[in-house]
Amino acid sequence: MTTQISEPAADTAPDKPGRPPGTARSPRYRTTWRKAFKRDWQLYTLVIVPLLFFLVFRYAPMLGNVIAFRKFVPGGSIYGETWVGLRYVKMFINDPNFWEVFGNTMALGALSLVFTFPLPIVLALLLNEVRSRYFKRFVQTVSYLPHFLSIVIVAGMVMQLVSLEGTVNQVVRALGGEAVSFIQDPSWFRTIYVSSEVWQTVGWGTILYLAALTTIDSQLYEAARIDGANRWQQTWHVTLPGIRPTMITLLILNIGTFMAVGFEKVLLLYNPLTYPTADVISTYLYRVGLVSNNFSYAAAIGLFESVIGLTLILSANAISRRTVGTSLW
């Protein structure tokens, strides 16, 4: 008895490795960007205005930074007359006020970051535990409203509160103390600035973190409860890791604006008596560079500030990517 083994037919040859099932590209469903634009052109037109805004007010002015290395004379070329290299940068670094304004910028930036970054997280976690929907909405509304106020209005409210006849001094007198000229005392400026910054920005950050909390899978909390985790353990091992990407993103963005501090608010709140603790790089740039018509010097100071800010955000992004695996890019 013999057994015959037939060879496989030519059309039953093993398939060559290719794309996984369901990922084959068919010309019928292949869509080019032109077809996508033709189909959704209404959506793409919404990008035009923001794109023009950034091109005109963000990228085009960068060309003017060349006057930081050239001597600019009003009435002459907009790109300066003669090349001077790093002359104006060296002038700023060797300025007697450099370390004062640089130190004030770092101090205000650090204090703002220390208080304005974690407080929205804490408030969002507390609101997330509240079961009363009306109370939660009330707190959200009250904390978020200051975000809509302009900096001029906020500065005016702060000036009224801490003036000699303001609410704060009235409370001090009621407690038996003497009125304090807060707005003219250099030792109080940073407290006033950071307090107003927290009051104005904490609500906005809270909204972002509350939105991030809604993306956490409820089954993770169920599994944690089955394992016997209490509320604090659930927060530490489930909630915080769930919103970590949002936390890292906002932290990097805050570090990116570390050197900018709050030019408008500082300009509106400070005065010559508070320069020792209030004068920052941006206000010094405005006062010494722009008001005095020294535009090349002002451009050099602004470029110096931008380079420091760019270095900080790149460093923070690299550290975040290597340590926690989350970054902006």
How would residue 31 be classed by pLDDT, with cut points 50, 70 and 90? low
Element (H, E) at 52: helix 48-54
Q: What is the mean pLDDT of residues 41-68?
A: 89
**How do the domains of the chain map onto residue ranges?**
67-323
The answer as to CATH 3.60.15.10 being correct for domain 67-323 is no
Q: What is the mean pLDDT of residues 43-66?
A: 89
pLDDT digits (tens, 9 = 90+) for 284-327: 999 988 888 888 999 999 999 989 988 988 998 888 888 877 77
pLDDT digits (tens, 9 = 90+) for 182-200: 999 999 999 999 999 999 9
Return mean pLDDT, the chain. Answer: 85
Say yes or no to pLDDT of 123 above 50.
Answer: yes
How would residue 30 be classed by pLDDT, with cut points 50, 70 and 90? low
Whole-number percent of the chain with pLDDT over 70: 91
Say yes or no to pLDDT of 15 above 70.
Answer: no
Task: Tell me how far the alpha carbon of residue 234 is from its chain's centroid.
Answer: 28
